[in-house]
Amino acid sequence: MPLEPTSVPLSSASIEPFRDLLEADQWEEFIRSMRETAGLLKNATVWNINSTAHGGGVAELLESQIPYQRELGIDVRWLVIQGGRAFFTFTKRLHTLLHGIAANGATISADERAEYEQTLGRNVEALTGQIRAGDVAILHDPQTAGLIPHLVRRRCRVVWRSHIGVDQPNDVTRGAWRFLMPFVRAAHATVFSRHTYVWEGLDEATVNIIPPSIDAFTPKNQEMDAATVAAILGATGILAGGSPRGEPDFRLRDGSPRRVARPSQLFPEGKVPADARLVVQVSRWDRLKDPLGVMKGFAQFVAPKLDGHLILAGPGVSAVTDDPEEPAVLGEVQDHWQRLEAPARERIHLARLPMEDLDENAAVVNALQRRADVVVQKSLGEGFGLTVAEAMWKGRAVIASRVGGIQDQIENGLSGLLIDDPHDLAGFGAAVTGVLADPARAQRLGNEAKQRVRRDFLAPRELTQQAGLIRQLVQSAD
C-alpha cells in the first residue's frame, strides 16, 4: 500500500528587508540570480523532500527559505515522507553511524535494508502524478536517499543534500556510506555543508559545497528588546517575575502580531530567578548534542565558582517525529540531575519548550538566547549547528565544540570560543567561567559574532548558491 507524503502548507515572504542587511553588490547578485532561476523554471517545480515538518535544522531551513523563493516566482513545494517506527528507528541509527558512532552495532541488517527500501518505495508510489519530468527534486539527508533512483527514472533533476558529516570518517562512517552510496551516486548533484564532509568515492563533478544559513526575520531571529524578552520568558514559565514594562509579543513573517501563552515544562518545577546569570544550550534531546556532558561540566566546574544558572532547553518529547530516541536521552539527563549534589541541582534546569505552535516555540528560543549571558553548544558531532549562528546573530558570547560546521562559524577568540575536545569537561567549564566572569569580554565576543553572521551566514547567500546549482542542472538537461 502506498504511503502518502505530507504536503507542507507554504506562504510567500518579501525579500526587501534583506536590502538593509546586505552590501550593495551582495543584494544585486541575489536579485539577479533568483530572477534568472525563476525564468528558467517557468514550467517546472522545485520539490524539497525531507522526513519531518518541524523540529531540527532542515525543517527550519525549509520553512524560512521557501517563502522567499516563492515570492520571486519560483514554484517551490515541500513534501514530508511517511514511515513507521521501524523506519525512523533505523534512520536515526543510520544518522549516528554516519557520525562514526555505533552504539548499537555497525552492521546494517537485511531487515533494516528491506524496511528502508520498502518504505521509500511506498512513498514513491504515491508521488506519481505530482512530480513530473523536468522538475527539480532536492532530497534532504539519509532518510530520503532511497528515493533518488526512483525520481531519476522519472526524468527529474535530482539533488541529494546532506546536512550531516564528520571531519575524520572511520570504519563505522564508511560502512554507512557503503549502504547509501548506490542511491546517492544516482543523483545528478550532491550538496554538502563542508568540503571535509564529502564522501570518498563520489564523482567530484557532481559535488557542491553550500553552507546553511539563518533567516534574520523569522520569530526565532527577529530583534527583541529586553522588556519583551523578559515578558516572553515569564509568560512561558521559565523566568520568575516577567516584565512590568513589556508584553510577551512577537511578529510573524508577515508582520502580524502574536503572543506567547503556552507554558514550558520545567524540570525540576519552579522558575529560574529573574536576575540569574544564564548559561543556555538549546538543542534536541540528542546524545550528539551532549546535554548530559553540559550538565556534568557545569555542575563540576562552573557551579562551584560562580552563581550562574544553566538552562538546557529542547522540544517537548515526542514532538520530533523522526527521532524516537529523544525520550530516552531526556530520561538519562533527568536521572543524572537527581544524583547531583543539592547546590548544583538548584542551579540546573531542563526546559521542554512548547511545540504546538512552531512560531511561538521559535519566539521562546529567541528570548532564551537573547537573555543568556553565555550560549553553549557542546556537541560531540554536528552537521553544521546553526543554533550557533542564531545565538551569534543575537550578539551573544558563544562557547562551542570545535566540531563540524561550528568551527566554520566561530573564529576562535574573536567571534566566540571553541573547545578543542568536546569531552574535556574541565576545559569546557573553564571557558564558561572565564566568559561569565568577564562581561566586557562577553560583549566584545558577541559584537563580533553578529558581524560575522551578517557577512557570511544570512539566507540570501545560501539561496544564491542554490539557485546557481538549479540553473546548472536545468540547463544541462536541455
Question: What would the pLDDT profile of 294-312 be if each residue is shown by its tens digit?
Answer: 999 999 999 999 999 999 9
On the question of pLDDT at 321 being above 60, the answer is no
Domain 6-213+458-477: CATH architecture, name and number where available: 3-Layer(aba) Sandwich (3.40)
Average pLDDT, the chain: 94
Average the pLDDT over 192-213 and give the result. Answer: 96
Average the pLDDT over 86-106 and give the result. Answer: 91
Kindly report the pTM of this predicted structure: 0.87
- Please list the helix, strand and coil fractions of the chain in percent, rounded to the nearest 5, in that order: 45, 15, 40
Q: Where are the domains of the chain?
A: 6-213+458-477, 267-456
Question: What would the pLDDT profile of 371-419 be if each residue is shown by its tens digit?
Answer: 999 999 999 988 788 999 999 999 999 999 999 899 999 999 999 999 9
Q: How confident is the model at residue 323 (pLDDT cuts 50, 70, 90)?
A: low
Is-same-fold flag (6-213+458-477; 267-456)? yes
CB-based contact 263:236 (threshold 8 Å): yes
Nine cell digits for residue 31: 536579485
CATH topology of domain 267-456: Rossmann fold (3.40.50)
Q: Residue 28: which residues within 8 A CB-CB, separation 6 or more? A: none
On the question of pLDDT at 322 being above 90, the answer is no
Question: What would the pLDDT profile of 224-270 be if each residue is shown by its tens digit?
Answer: 999 999 999 999 999 998 777 889 999 998 889 999 999 999 999 99
- What is the strand order of the sheet 189-192 is part of? 6-7, 76-80, 46-50, 136-140, 157-162, 189-192, 207-209
CA 30 to chain CA mean position, Å: 23
